[in-house]
Amino acid sequence: MLRRTFAIAVKELLQLRRDLRTALTLIVMPVLLLFVYGYALSFDVQHIRLAVVDHDGTQASRDAAQAFLRSGYFDLIAQGQDERMLDPLFDRGAAQAALVVPFRYASDLSAGRATTLQFVLDGSDSQTATTILGYARQIAASLSPLVDVGAASGPIVPVPLVWYNPDLSSTRFLVPGLLAFILMVSSVIATALAVVREKERGTMESLRATPLVAVELLLGKTLPYLVVGFVSAGGALLVAHLLFDVPVRGSLFWLAAVTLLFLAVGLAWGVLVSTIADSQQVAFQLALLSSMLPTMILSGFIFPISSMPAFLQWLTRIVPARYYLVALRGIVLKGAGPSVWWPEMASLGVFGALLVAIATARTVRSL
């Protein structure tokens, strides 16, 4: 049994080596996609157009404005001493935010009195506005515990302390999701195409006439793609680490183990697709649709599962990436061990076993 499986795996690898385009697509594409989307996909807001109105005109007030500009999020577009300059700037959309430093800012600070920096925001894009306000609060808090933005709140100012992702970079949060997304899509497509190709070319008929049983055939066909997927996952993770500062705080062993399990489930999904599709074209579309949309929308990659309606929350249980993401984020961002994410991995294992059983049964029926 092992030898016949091995014979198929060797054949599959030989074909992959001849078909360099496919092989490169499988290995390089995930890394490339991560590179491109990692830069494009971000909730972080940068180059915010900021106007500064300084009523105080002291060294301290200039420091406050500088702190905003030095943060890297803001670009200064106008500066003055009169609030009336702001209206036309906001109307034209030239400014997204304005910082207004009040009279007696410096004297209040030196006297130990709480003071307030007024921060004016264009709220027409509420998502962006909220993000910008968050930045402003952090910067104000860094100036002095006495400084707050918005309404004065007395001498006690809450200072948020953020764990795991201190600068609240959305990239750090999104890249693991992106990794899961890319691995899922590429592994499902690769296996679905590999199996359907045999049907389309007519070689499946001859394979069926050999003593090969379904399990040998499917194992032999998918094992090479597990190896290929694993290599490209490693490459993608390296890119995530080097370019997007995604740390790997947990154990590499567990990271490899959960990634292998996730890839195996993706392959089973691909085999299932192959039992439905008869042509490579149909297989490709089915594989793409069935892996891309659920992983994008229902895995917690972008939208938190806990804020979904109950029905959708229930539906997320058949999205493999949902389980993998918990373990992946846990391991790379928090250094969490199996005690934290084992329930998700157990669920993924059960779901994967179910997929394998259905896919094999369907293949046997078609054999």
Partner 1 sequence: MSRPTVVARDLSRSFGRFVAVDRVSFEVAPGEIFGFLGSNGAGKTTTIRMLCGLLAPTAGAATVLGLDIATEAVAIKRRIGYMSQRFSLYGDLTVEENLRFWGGAYGLFGEAIATRMEWGLDVAELAGRRRSLVRDLPGGYRQRLALACALLHDPPVVFLDEPTSGVDPEARRRFWDLIDGLAAAGKTVFVTTHAMDEAERCHRVALMHAGKLLKLDSVPRLKAAFAAGTVVEVRCPDPARALRHVESTPGVSDASLFGDSLHAVLDRPSRRAELAARLDAAGFAPARVEAIEPSLEDVFIHLIAEAESEAA
| Cα gap 78→86, rounded to integer Å | 9
213-217 LR contacts (CB < 8 Å, sep 24+): 213/1, 214/360, 214/363, 214/364, 214/367, 215/360, 216/1, 216/4, 216/5, 216/8, 217/8, 217/363, 217/367
Out of 11, 113, 249, 317, point to the residue binding partner 1 (CB under 8 A).
11
In the chain, which residue ranges form alpha helices assigned H by DSSP? 2-18, 20-40, 59-70, 86-91, 105-110, 126-143, 170-201, 203-208, 214-244, 252-276, 280-298, 310-315, 320-329, 338-366
Tell me: does residue 8 bind partner 1 (CB under 8 A). Answer: yes
Tell me: does residue 365 bind partner 1 (CB under 8 A). Answer: no
Among 41-49, 114-122, 202-210, 271-279, the segment contacting partner 1 (CB under 8 A): 202-210
CB of 201 to partner 1, least distance (A): 7
Q: State the Cα angle at 41 between 44 and 329, rounded to 5°.
A: 85
CB of 264 to partner 1, least distance (A): 24
Nearer to partner 1, 167 or 278 (CB): 278
Nearer to partner 1, 121 or 194 (CB): 194
Amino acid identity, position 124: S
Out of 104, 201, 249, 317, point to the residue binding partner 1 (CB under 8 A).
201
Q: Tell me which residues in 213-252 interact with partner 1 (CB under 8 A).
A: 213
Three-state DSSP class for 329?
helix
Amino acid identity, position 175: V
Residue 240 contacts by C-beta under 8 Å, 6 or more apart in sequence? 34, 38, 175, 176, 179, 246
Nearer to partner 1, 51 or 219 (CB): 219
Tell me: does residue 210 bind partner 1 (CB under 8 A). Answer: yes
CB of 19 to partner 1, least distance (A): 7
Q: At what angle do helices 280-298 and 252-276 cross, to 10 degrees?
A: 130
Tell me: does residue 207 bind partner 1 (CB under 8 A). Answer: yes
Out of 202, 304, 306, 309, point to the residue binding partner 1 (CB under 8 A).
202
Binding map of partner 1 across residues 19-48, x = CB under 8 A, - = no contact = x-----------------------------
Out of 209, 253, 306, 365, point to the residue binding partner 1 (CB under 8 A).
209
CB of 203 to partner 1, least distance (A): 6
Residue 346: how many CB atoms within 10 A of its CB? 11
Tell me: does residue 7 bind partner 1 (CB under 8 A). Answer: yes
Tell me: does residue 18 bind partner 1 (CB under 8 A). Answer: yes
Tokens of 125: 């894009």
Tell me: does residue 366 bind partner 1 (CB under 8 A). Answer: no
Nearer to partner 1, 19 or 87 (CB): 19
Tokens of 189: 């497509």
Out of 212, 236, 277, 345, point to the residue binding partner 1 (CB under 8 A).
212
Q: State the Cα angle at 289 between 288 and 293, rounded to 5°.
A: 110
Binding residues for partner 1 (CB under 8 A):
3-4, 6-8, 10-11, 14-15, 18-19, 201-203, 205-213
